[in-house]
Amino acid sequence: MGRHHRLGKVAVKIGNISLDEESVCREVNFLRQFSGHKNVASFYGAYYQAPLSDTTSEKLEIVLEYCRGGSLYDLIKNTKGQSLKETWIGYVCREVLQALSNIHRHRAVHRDIKSPNIMLTKEGKVKLIDFGLCWDLDPQTGKCKESGGTAHWMAPEAIRWKGRKVEYDAKCDIWSLGITAIEMAEGATPYADQKYASDLIINNNSPQLKSNTWSQNVVSFLELCLKKEPSERWSADELLQHPFITKLPPTRTIRAEITEHLWALHNWRPKKGLKGAAHRAMKQLKGATHRAMKHLQRVCDICAHETSPEQKVAQQMALGGFPCF
C-alpha cells in the first residue's frame, strides 16, 4: 500500500523489470485495456524505479485502486464457518463474470481467477486484480498454448501434465470461477490439502459441493462451470443468464450485508474529525428532511377538505418540490 498526493491510499504492485520485462509490460498493457471496467481495479499509472546499484534490479511500481475490504480469500478465512451466504456467492460470481465477459470479448484470458485475486471495496464492490498471467488468445484459433495459473484453481486442459502440450480457450477462466465458488461455499478449494492436486484435477470427475443443503440453482451453476470438456462449459455471457445469477436479490441489499460484515470483521470505526462530523450532519439532515416531509403531508391531509381544487394542486406541487438530500 502507498499514498498518492491526489488519490490518497493506493495499492502498489512492484514488477521486476530485470527479471521478466516482457511479463511486466504485458500486465501494464492489459491493465490499461481493462481497468476501465467497473469490476476491475482501476489502474492509475506506473513509475520506473532505476537500480540503486549493480546488484539491484530495475523495477516498475504499478499503482492501482486500493480495495479496503481486502481479498475474497481473506473474507472466506475470517468468516465464521468459512462459508459465505448463497446470495453473496452468486453476487461475487456475477461481478467476476461481468469482468470476464469484457476480457473474453477482447479475445484475452485472465488465467489466474482465484479468491486472492478478487478484491472487495469498503462498499462491498467486487474488483478483479493481477493481470500478470493474462494472455491474448491466438487470433486464428482462439486458443492459448502457454500453461499458466495457480494449481488448485486451474482447469484440467490448462495443466501441462506428463509432457503433453496444452491448448485451451477462455473457458479455463470459467472453471477457475467454479472452483472459487466452491471455495466460498466450503472454505477451501477441492484437494486443498493435497500436494499433487494437478493429477487429481485431471484424473478425477469434476468436483461437487459436499453438502446437499445448497439450492438446485447453485448446484446447476457449478455443474456448468466445471464441465471437464471445455466445449460443454458455459461461457461468461451464458452464465450471466443462469437463474442463480438472474434471481439474486437487489445489489444494494447484498452490498449492504457484505459491508456490515466487513465493518465487523475489520473492527472499523466511524469517521472522526471534520469528515466524520460532516457525514453525521448529513445523516441528521436527511432524517430532519424526512420528518419535515411527513409533517407537511399530515398538515396538507388535515386541510385538504377545506381547500379549493387549485389549492390542492398547489399543495401537491409544494410536496413534490420539497428538497431531498
Q: Each residue of 304-324: b (16+ CB within 10 Å) or e?
A: eeeeeeeeeeebeeeeeeeee
User: Are the C-beta atoms of 92 and 184 separated by less than 8 Å?
Assistant: yes
Tens digits of residue pLDDT in 120-152 = 999 999 999 999 999 999 999 999 998 889 999
pLDDT of residue 220: 98
Longest Cα–Cα distance in the chain: 91
Question: Which of 112, 130, 169, 173 does the annotation list as catalytic?
Answer: 112
* β-pairing verdict for 118-120 and 70-71: antiparallel
Shortest CA distance to 292 belongs to which of 319, 312, 314? 319
Whole-prediction pTM: 0.81
Q: Which triple of cell numbers denotes residue 180?
A: 472459487
88 close to 257: Cβ distance less than 8 angstroms: yes
**Exposed/middle/buried for 216, CB within 10 Å: 0-12, 13-18, 19+?**
exposed
Given a cut of 90, whether residue 311 has pLDDT beyond it is: no
Tell me the mean pLDDT in the region 272-300: 53
Tell me the sheet residues that pair with 45: 63
Strand partners, 65: 10
Residue whose C-alpha is closest to residue 103's, from 173, 158, 176, 22: 173
Catalytic residue status for 112? yes
Average pLDDT, the chain: 86
